């Protein structure tokens, strides 16, 4: 029997299907997701949970005329399958293939690109208001997971929706998970709605009351009775207080009911919120049993769900294991995550120190302010947030932590390229956005052991301090039993000879690249020193000045954008020192880098040994010729 999915090249073909065929289509989509992602990796659990929901949206509405916004958009794989990208779906998250998130340049059906949580409602409201002003008739539907309702931006949008538009559909996709189990008052609040056995019947009772009595007066009385009943059963229905008519909760895997409900909602003349209950990982038992693991993962066995074990500890694991030891030693050490205990490794810390562990939900701004409050009272907060997500908390970092010179430690996982995830997750801006802030120290380790040393150093530093480290495994350097204190602003000289022609200042994960460049330069007759820079702020000006006065050229290497990055800091310090020496900078260009494999992207954009040598050789050859001419 041929697959229904193989005949779907546009949403129009979905709408032509009999409703009776949609369950079969859902099963085929799940099979496709499990098969393709077993090879490419990706966000399996979230997409398995929204299959029927996405089918229903495309069955009722008309994309791209109508607009769907998926919060975070990592759950838009089903949407991609139904909007003309089925034949390319096997390329998802591979170089040159489909992106793992919504991408406006990829399809007209992707009306809004996103990769961070909390964006859908505000953007959808903006599109709805624009539609109203232009006299359009299209529908705007924002699909946001319950985790997005732990995010402050979502509340800011909720506060404005009813005031600015009369037509917007918000779908609350409630599966009780973000990456980990959701936390906080909103998660508890939604659970009360879901688990209250009497709430489901309230709308139905009000409707019957209106039918019996008839008229506008009866409708007002019914609405008051319904609201009063809600107030008795629940503290309040917050969404209705904010002006959104609440419907639900309904089953998110009953495609016929979803279609019927959306047909009703599209006719409403006020903003509405539909509460939909889904199961993350539905249809794949390993994903149902291990929801954290299958939120987003690499390749796996499509039968068992087993993944290939890593040969070495990841930087995240080294961070967490080191922090456990620091908390054993120092009772003031506490750890904060913004809904990323698994991604940052802090689930390992939680197991050892549950009383020192805080998950604040998807609320990076709050996380930093919360850390500032803890620091004021003498605690040592380690705030573990991905580099790309800490961007959201820039103002509290400046205004609340650094201005007050508070001893908060920013642990920035995914510093550098997060290759398969692409531009929304590449952590290539933090040096630029942090090093201009007074009082802040910024560190970058070359390996696992140096990360442990930097965390130990940060614990003892009486001021704001940040450490960035990459995604995935390190070079495999053993971590000492007792970490060492690193002098603030002191670089490490790894290789040095009497006649060095080049000084290579390498940062973090690019130190091995610097050592390889040095070996190749030595073979070409150009001896080179290699410096593990360690700090982007403060720069080790003593070692910089020494080499600036003795070598022909300085090379800087960084897994970061060049504009405002480490190489820029070196140029600024040389200017302050009044020294003029050629500087070759290797890093990422002034553009957003696509998803792909790290080595391929480095080769494409010149973050490589070969690119560095090509830039160095003309300078060295010219200097050599000038010296010979001078001797003559």
Which residue shows structure tokens 């996103």? 114
The residues carrying an active-site annotation are 280, 364, 392
Pairing of strands 535-537, 441-443: antiparallel
How many Å apart are CA 460 and CA 333, to the nearest integer? 11
Phi, psi of 627 (to 5 degrees): -65, -40
Size of the chain, expressed as the number of residues it contains: 632
Nearest CA-CA partner of 278 in 192, 176, 361, 147: 176
DSSP-based three-state secondary structure for 198: coil
Q: What is the end-to-end Cα distance of the chain in Å, rounded?
A: 85
Using N-to-C axis directions, what is the helix angle for 215-233 and 202-213, rounded to 10°? 160
How many Å apart are CA 491 and CA 536, to the nearest integer? 10
Q: Do the Cβ atoms of 619 and 553 come closer than 8 Å?
A: yes
Using N-to-C axis directions, what is the helix angle for 448-460 and 315-329, rounded to 10°? 40
How many Å apart are CA 62 and CA 49, to the nearest integer? 22
Contacts of 241 (CB under 8 A, 6+ apart): none
Half-sphere exposure of 100 (CA within 13 A, CB side): 31
Which residue shows structure tokens 């939900």? 361
Contacts of 377 (CB under 8 A, 6+ apart): none
Which residue shows structure tokens 């149902």? 288
DSSP-based three-state secondary structure for 179: coil
Q: Do the Cβ atoms of 491 and 535 come closer than 8 Å?
A: yes
Which residue shows structure tokens 């001896």? 527
Structure tokens at 447: 């390996």
Q: Do the Cβ atoms of 153 and 118 come closer than 8 Å?
A: yes
Pairing of strands 245-251, 169-174: unpaired
Sign of the CA dihedral running 522, 526, 527, 529: negative
How many Å apart are CA 296 and CA 37, to the nearest integer? 10
Q: Do the Cβ atoms of 28 and 54 come closer than 8 Å?
A: no
Report the C-alpha dihedral over residues 126, 129, 130, 136, rounded to 10 degrees.
130
How many Å apart are CA 90 and CA 104, to the nearest integer? 19
Q: Is the peptide bond before 239 cis (omega within 30 degrees of 0)?
A: no
Q: Do the Cβ atoms of 102 and 89 come closer than 8 Å?
A: no
Pairing of strands 583-588, 357-359: unpaired
How many Å apart are CA 367 and CA 360, to the nearest integer? 6
Q: Do the Cβ atoms of 551 and 503 come closer than 8 Å?
A: yes
How many Å apart are CA 308 and CA 628, to the nearest integer? 57
Phi, psi of 106 (to 5 degrees): -90, -35
């Amino acid at each position: 029997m041929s697959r229904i999915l193989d005949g779907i090249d546009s949403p129009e073909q979905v709408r032509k299907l009999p409703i009776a065929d949609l369950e079969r289509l859902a099963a085929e989509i799940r099979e496709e997701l499990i098969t393709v992602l077993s090879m490419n990796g990706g966000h399996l659990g979230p997409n398995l949970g929204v299959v029927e929901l996405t089918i229903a949206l495309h069955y009722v509405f008309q994309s791209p005329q109508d607009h769907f916004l998926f919060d975070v958009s990592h759950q838009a794989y089903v949407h991609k399958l139904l909007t003309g990208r089925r034949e390319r779906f096997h390329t998802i998250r591979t170089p040159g293939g489909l992106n793992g998130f919504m991408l406006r340049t990829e399809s007209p059906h992707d009306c809004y690109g996103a990769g961070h949580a909390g964006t859908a409602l505000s953007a959808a409201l903006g599109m709805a208001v624009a539609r109203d002003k232009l006299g359009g008739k299209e529908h705007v539907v924002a699909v946001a997971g319950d985790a997005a309702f732990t995010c402050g931006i979502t509340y800011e949008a909720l506060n404005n929706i009813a005031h600015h538009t009369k037509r917007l559909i918000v779908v609350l996709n409630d599966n009780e998970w973000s990456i980990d189990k959701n936390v906080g008052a909103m998660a508890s609040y939604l659970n009360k709605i879901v688990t209250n056995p009497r709430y489901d019947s309230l709308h139905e009772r009000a409707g019957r009351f209106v039918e019996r009595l008839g008229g506008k007066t009866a409708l007002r009385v019914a609405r008051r009775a319904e609201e009063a009943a809600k107030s008795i059963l629940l503290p309040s229905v917050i969404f209705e207080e904010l002006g959104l008519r609440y419907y639900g909760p309904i089953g998110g895997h009953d495609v016929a009911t979803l279609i019927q409900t959306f047909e009703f909602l599209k006719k409403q003349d006020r903003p509405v919120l539909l509460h939909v209950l889904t199961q993350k990982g539905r249809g794949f038992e390993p994903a149902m049993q291990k929801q954290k693991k299958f939120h987003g993962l690499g390749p796996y066995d499509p039968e068992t769900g087993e993944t290939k074990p890593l040969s070495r500890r990841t930087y995240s694991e080294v961070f967490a294991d080191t922090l456990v030891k620091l908390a054993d030693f120092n009772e003031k050490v506490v750890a904060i995550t913004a809904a990323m205990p698994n991604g940052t490794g802090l689930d390992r810390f939680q197991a050892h120190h549950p009383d020192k562990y805080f998950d604040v939900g998807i609320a990076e701004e709050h996380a930093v302010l919360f850390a500032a409050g803890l620091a004021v009272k003498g605690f040592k907060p380690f705030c573990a947030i991905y580099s790309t997500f800490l961007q959201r908390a820039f103002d509290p970092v400046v205004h609340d932590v650094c201005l007050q010179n508070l001893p908060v430690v920013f642990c920035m996982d995914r510093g550098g390229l997060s290759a398969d995830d692409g531009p929304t997750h590449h952590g290539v801006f933090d040096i630029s956005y942090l090093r201009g802030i007074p009082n802040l120290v910024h560190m970058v380790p070359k390996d696992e052991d140096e990360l442990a040393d930097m965390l130990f150093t940060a614990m003892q530093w009486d001021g704001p301090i940040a450490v960035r480290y990459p995604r995935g495994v390190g070079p495999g350097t053993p971590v000492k039993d007792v970490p060492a204190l690193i002098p603030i602003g002191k670089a490490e000289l790894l290789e040095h000879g009497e006649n060095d022609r080049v000084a290579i200042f390498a940062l973090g994960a690019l130190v091995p690249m610097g050592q390889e460049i040095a070996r190749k330069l030595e073979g070409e007759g150009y001896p080179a020193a290699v410096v593990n820079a360690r700090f982007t702020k403060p720069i080790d000006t003593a070692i910089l000045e020494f080499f600036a006065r003795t070598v022909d050229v300085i090379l800087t290497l960084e897994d970061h954008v060049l504009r405002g990055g480490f190489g820029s800091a070196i140029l600024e310090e040389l200017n302050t020192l009044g020294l003029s020496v050629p500087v070759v900078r290797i890093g990422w260009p002034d553009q957003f880098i696509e998803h792909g494999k790290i080595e391929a992207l480095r080769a494409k954009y010149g973050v490589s040994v070969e690119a560095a040598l090509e830039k160095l050789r003309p300078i060295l050859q010219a200097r050599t010729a000038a010296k010979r001419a001078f001797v003559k």
